[in-house]
Structure 1
Amino acid sequence: MPTQLIRNPVNPEQLMLLQQVFDETCTEHGIDKASPDGEALAFILVNSLQKGSADKEQLEALAGALIQTR
């Protein structure tokens, strides 16, 4: 039986938070939002928020760590 991942829906406030962190990270690091790197960043941020990382500082730290590894 496959393991089911629990993901919470994103509410409007969280969506605004995600957009802010995504926009700031892309601008700060010169990432084209429509590029594979931008899409991967967006995907990871959304998944992280759905799994419980709903704090701006946590999301920013995650984004920073991802940028370091690319």
Structure 2
Amino acid sequence: MRTQVRQPVNPDQLSLLQQVFDNACTEHRINKDSPDGEALALILVNSLQKGMSEKEALSHLAETLAQSR
């Protein structure tokens, strides 16, 4: 079994995540404190830690997740 190493999130990445998360929540009317909001945040953080660091890629992921809920 291969273990995926997760990198710590730096302040610039945290700002990026916040922007992507806020935009997705606003656009899709997701309450940030709801289970959907919490799941979206967790997936975005995990994706960034695993190497998805481009804003466009994270935004696309957030859009896909928000639409599929």
* Aligned residues: CA RMSD: 1.0
Which residue number corresponds to residue 34 of structure 2? 35
The superposition leaves residues 11-69 of structure 1 with CA deviations (integer Å, 9 ceiling, x where unpaired) of 00000000000001100110000000000000000000000000000000000111121
Runs of 4+ in 1 over 6 A off after TM superposition: none
Gap runs ≥5 in structure 2? none
**CA distance in 1 between partners of 2:50 and 2:58 (Å):** 12
TM-score with structure 1 length normalisation? 0.93
Gap runs ≥5 in structure 1? none
State the identity as a percent. Answer: 65
Aligned residues: 69
